[in-house]
Amino acid sequence: MATTRVQVSTLPTGATAGTFLRGDGTWAAAGAADDVFWENAQTISSDYTITASKNAMTAGDITVNSGVTVTVPAGTRWVIV
Protein backbone atom coordinates (compact mmCIF):
# COMPACT_ATOMS: atom_id res chain seq x y z
CA MET A 1 0.00 0.00 0.00
CA ALA A 2 1.36 3.40 -0.96
CA THR A 3 1.77 6.15 1.60
CA THR A 4 1.19 9.76 0.72
CA ARG A 5 2.96 12.43 2.74
CA VAL A 6 1.84 16.02 2.66
CA GLN A 7 3.85 18.93 4.01
CA VAL A 8 2.07 22.14 4.80
CA SER A 9 3.68 25.47 5.41
CA THR A 10 0.77 26.80 7.48
CA LEU A 11 -1.00 24.77 10.15
CA PRO A 12 -4.80 24.81 10.31
CA THR A 13 -6.42 27.12 12.86
CA GLY A 14 -5.98 25.69 16.35
CA ALA A 15 -3.25 23.25 15.37
CA THR A 16 0.31 23.33 16.59
CA ALA A 17 3.23 21.00 15.98
CA GLY A 18 2.65 17.68 17.72
CA THR A 19 -1.15 17.85 17.75
CA PHE A 20 -3.86 15.78 16.08
CA LEU A 21 -7.46 16.49 15.12
CA ARG A 22 -9.99 14.70 17.34
CA GLY A 23 -13.27 13.34 16.05
CA ASP A 24 -15.09 16.24 17.72
CA GLY A 25 -13.10 18.78 15.68
CA THR A 26 -10.81 19.93 18.50
CA TRP A 27 -7.01 19.63 18.57
CA ALA A 28 -5.14 17.59 21.18
CA ALA A 29 -1.50 16.95 22.03
CA ALA A 30 -0.03 13.85 20.42
CA GLY A 31 1.85 12.87 23.57
CA ALA A 32 5.54 12.85 24.30
CA ALA A 33 7.90 14.76 22.06
CA ASP A 34 8.91 11.49 20.42
CA ASP A 35 5.24 10.57 19.66
CA VAL A 36 5.18 7.32 21.63
CA PHE A 37 1.73 7.86 23.16
CA TRP A 38 -1.70 7.88 21.54
CA GLU A 39 -4.63 9.15 23.58
CA ASN A 40 -8.28 8.62 22.75
CA ALA A 41 -11.52 9.50 24.44
CA GLN A 42 -13.29 6.90 26.57
CA THR A 43 -16.79 7.61 25.26
CA ILE A 44 -18.11 7.50 21.70
CA SER A 45 -20.80 10.18 21.57
CA SER A 46 -21.60 10.36 17.84
CA ASP A 47 -22.05 7.89 15.00
CA TYR A 48 -18.83 6.79 13.31
CA THR A 49 -18.06 4.64 10.28
CA ILE A 50 -14.60 3.14 9.87
CA THR A 51 -13.23 3.94 6.43
CA ALA A 52 -13.64 1.05 3.99
CA SER A 53 -10.36 -0.83 3.38
CA LYS A 54 -8.90 0.50 6.65
CA ASN A 55 -8.79 -0.84 10.21
CA ALA A 56 -9.26 1.01 13.48
CA MET A 57 -7.78 0.58 16.95
CA THR A 58 -9.01 2.03 20.22
CA ALA A 59 -7.58 1.74 23.72
CA GLY A 60 -10.35 0.65 26.10
CA ASP A 61 -12.47 0.56 28.15
CA ILE A 62 -14.83 2.29 25.71
CA THR A 63 -18.44 3.36 26.25
CA VAL A 64 -20.73 3.76 23.24
CA ASN A 65 -23.51 6.17 24.18
CA SER A 66 -27.12 5.08 23.80
CA GLY A 67 -28.37 5.58 20.24
CA VAL A 68 -24.84 5.90 18.83
CA THR A 69 -23.68 3.48 16.13
CA VAL A 70 -20.15 2.47 15.19
CA THR A 71 -20.20 0.90 11.72
CA VAL A 72 -17.49 -1.60 10.83
CA PRO A 73 -17.78 -2.32 7.07
CA ALA A 74 -17.10 -5.78 5.67
CA GLY A 75 -13.37 -6.38 5.27
CA THR A 76 -12.41 -3.96 8.08
CA ARG A 77 -11.63 -4.49 11.75
CA TRP A 78 -12.08 -2.46 14.90
CA VAL A 79 -9.75 -3.67 17.64
CA ILE A 80 -10.08 -2.49 21.23
CA VAL A 81 -6.94 -3.11 23.28
Q: Tell me the mean pLDDT per 10 residues along the chain, length 81.
A: 50 64 72 67 93 90 94 94 90
Per-residue confidence (pLDDT) for residue 1, from 0 to 100:
46
Spatial separation of the C-alpha atoms in residues 55 and 75, rounded to whole Å: 9
Per-residue confidence (pLDDT) for residue 45, from 0 to 100:
93
13 in any annotated domain? no
76 in any annotated domain? yes
The total domain count for the chain is 1
Spatial separation of the C-alpha atoms in residues 13 and 42, rounded to whole Å: 25
Residues 6+ apart with CB under 8 A from 66: none
Is-above-0.95 flag for pTM?
A: no
Per-residue confidence (pLDDT) for residue 6, from 0 to 100:
47
15 in any annotated domain? no
Which domain range does residue 77 map to?
A: 42-81
36 in any annotated domain? no
27 in any annotated domain? no
